[in-house]
Amino acid sequence: MATASPPLTSSLKFTSTSFRTRTSLPTCSFSPKLLRPLPSFSAKASRKQVEIVFDPDERLNKIGDDVDKEAPLSRLKLFSPCKINVFLRITGKREDGFHDLASLFHVISLGDTIKFSLSPSKSKDRLSTNVSGVPVDARNLIIKALNLYRKKTGSNKFFWIHLDKQVPTGAGLGGGSSNAATALWAANQLNGGLVSEKELQDWSSEIGSDIPFFFSHGAAYCTGRGEIVQDLPSPFPFDLPMVLIKPREACSTAEVYKRLRLDQTSNVDPLTLLENVTNNGVSQSICVNDLELPAFQVLPSLKRLKQRVIASGRGEYDAVFMSGSGSTIVGIGSPDPPQFIYDDEEYKKVFLSEANFMTREANEWYKEPASATATTSSSESRLEIPNEM
């Protein structure tokens, strides 16, 4: 005996899971005429449910991504690497009070990260940072660089900037100068590339002697006050490791130069040093720094630190020297500090970082390494700074 089909049913259910859509659902109504009978396989009919989720956040994110693709560039995240001076000769004093130098500068993989966004303000930049004690007003070289860019180009754009600081201050590593160069490059990008990199490089010497170097490709022979930059191919393999050791005490550049006596500097020709390092790589005899002696007078413990690193390294380092005007001691050839750095109470709070030499491609800024390592000697584990975007 045939059984009658069950009454027609249909269920339309909206829940918070299952099917996702990136577009809004059109408003619609359902008419019984449009519903087809469900097939009957037995006395018990199947019932079909449709589960739909509308995720507004996901849709808004997609709209934002689409807008970013169509709109002019409005934000940037850039790596701001520091440098070391492989050798540094002071060759004379100028009439303007500055000193002439001749130095092989090279960018290394330790650096800060800076985020730039266009600001709705038409009168002021806003700078924030993760480190206390770093000025966030017009004293900061980032703000000086942005003011310089507007002065030179007539741009009326202002910025929100966040500086994630990893490079210590007062270290002889040019962290502030790198920040300024990075800000100039970012401002030019966010203004549609109004000027050339050469113009940015030339302007930058107005606010700092080391800033023009960072517009090289990462290795350069610098003369004058440091603003005359001769771009060079890197003479070093990029997998050559180094360790940076900076005591808690900083060296005042002004105080170091105040104690400098030209009759106590090296007499080796800087071009000879450049030729030797190009042909033979790094060695202790090449890594001359005429500012070491006055810096050691300002900070006697720095001389002792260098001597102990050399003695404890037992040949592990190809060269040990001070960078810039101090107070960072660089050991090239190994990423590891001597054990006494961890054991002695005197060095409990020194800054440590491993690094490598690096350069940049033409028309691009420096790329952040996959990871960087910085710590203090009292830390049980190293602070890993991932490459995030």
Summarize pLDDT for 320-365 with one digit per residue, the tens: 999 999 999 999 999 999 999 999 999 999 999 999 999 999 999 9
Q: Where are the domains of the chain?
A: 71-356
Q: How confident is the model at residue 57 (pLDDT cuts 50, 70, 90)?
A: low
pLDDT on residue 321: 98
Catalytic residue among 112, 210, 290, 318: 210
Q: Average pLDDT of 87-99?
A: 95
* Residue 232 in tokens: 């060079």
E strands present in the chain: 11-21, 49-54, 75-93, 99-118, 126-129, 159-164, 219-223, 228-231, 241-246, 319-322, 329-332, 351-356, 371-376, 383-386
Catalytic residue among 83, 157, 165, 306: 83
- The verdict on whether 348 is a catalytic residue reads no
CATH number belonging to domain 71-356: 3.30.230.10
- How much of the chain, in percent, has pLDDT values that exceed 90? 75
**How many other β-carbons are positioned within 10 Å of the β-carbon of residue 172?**
28
Q: Average pLDDT of 257-272?
A: 97
Would you give the DSSP letter of residue 22? S
Asked which of 125-129, 288-292, 367-371 is least confident by mean pLDDT, the reply is 367-371
pLDDT on residue 370: 85
Q: How does the average pLDDT of the chain come out, rounded?
A: 85
Q: How confident is the model at residue 375 (pLDDT cuts 50, 70, 90)?
A: low
Phi and psi of 345, rounded to 5°?
Answer: -60, -30
**How many other β-carbons are positioned within 10 Å of the β-carbon of residue 8?**
11
Q: Looking at the predicted structure, is the pLDDT value of residue 62 above 70?
A: no
pLDDT on residue 7: 47
Q: How confident is the model at residue 195 (pLDDT cuts 50, 70, 90)?
A: very high
Helix axis angle for 197-204 and 141-153, nearest 10°, is: 120
- The verdict on whether 246 is a catalytic residue reads no
Q: How confident is the model at residue 39 (pLDDT cuts 50, 70, 90)?
A: very low
Asked which of 60-69, 262-271, 380-389 is least confident by mean pLDDT, the reply is 380-389
- How much of the chain, in percent, has pLDDT values that exceed 70? 77
Q: Under a CB-based contact definition with an 8 Å cutoff, are residues 115 and 75 in contact?
A: yes
